[in-house]
Amino acid sequence: MWGALEENGAGVGEIYDSIPDYVGGHIAAERLSQQPFWKEAKVIKSNPDAAQGPVRYRALRDGKLLYMPVPELAKDYPFVLLDPAELAKKGVAFEEAATLQGALKYGKPVQFDEMMPMDVLCVGCVAVTRAGGRTGKGGGFADLELGIFRELGLVPQHGKIVTTVHQLQVVPNDQVPMQWHDSPLDWIVTPEEAIETRTPYPQPTGVAWDVVQPDQYRDIPFLTALRQELGRS
């Protein structure tokens, strides 16, 4: 997929081994913002990658509360909260706050038990299918986050799991196999179209603790304590 984006001149910056940034990301974010579920949403979560920078900007511009995870969940706090009203009071430009460094600088650190239910949960993807299949870089952070959210009751029934990608990243269904602990997409938005997947894949009910890797326990400071707090020890 990274090679296809590069060969077609569709990637932006260093795209290999990443959630690739792509040409037309602002158009995809605009198309996402026109969907009724987005317009009704009050709380948005977005991954921290550059590809979804336009989504984060659009959320702030549209007056939504925005959660962004710390990259690879590598700090003592897992997320930051960006409140567009507070940013405006401080004179912080939404364009700056929507960047990774801006979000970490201006966002309020929050723990999972301080978070509000989220109406739209945007995840970064390398490849997706029209049936809702998705794959990222292989680190498992998105599924871990979503599993924790579900165990804590932070994904309401109306919550939508979405992504924005280049059209080239939409591949045939059989190219992205899904496992039982993978969270499928409800919507895929590209610069050309918005796809409601009506996914046949079931959503997991929580964290697949049995498949969490030893290096994740080692590298994510709060993970062991959180598992114990949830009674999964």
Which pLDDT band, with edges at 50, 70 and 90, does 233 fall under?
Answer: low
Which pLDDT band, with edges at 50, 70 and 90, does 72 fall under?
Answer: low
Tokens of 20: 């690739």
Which pLDDT band, with edges at 50, 70 and 90, does 213 fall under?
Answer: confident
Q: What is the mean pLDDT of the chain?
A: 92
Tokens of 101: 């460094």
Q: What is the mean pLDDT of residues 131-143?
A: 87
Beta-carbon count within 10 A of 56 CB: 30
pLDDT for the residue 224: 77
Q: Cα angle vertex 160, ends 213, 215, to 5°? A: 10
Please state the φ and ψ torsions of residue 61, each to the nearest 5 degrees. -60, -35
Residue 10 has pLDDT above 90, yes or no: yes
Which pLDDT band, with edges at 50, 70 and 90, does 107 fall under?
Answer: very high
Q: What is the mean pLDDT of residues 64-80?
A: 83
Which pLDDT band, with edges at 50, 70 and 90, does 75 fall under?
Answer: low
Contacts of residue 226, Cβ cutoff 8 Å, sequence gap at least 6: 112, 148
Residue 209 has pLDDT above 90, yes or no: no
Tokens of 141: 């952070």
Residue 232 has pLDDT above 90, yes or no: no
Q: Which of 62, 64, 49, 45 is nearest to 18 (CA)?
A: 49
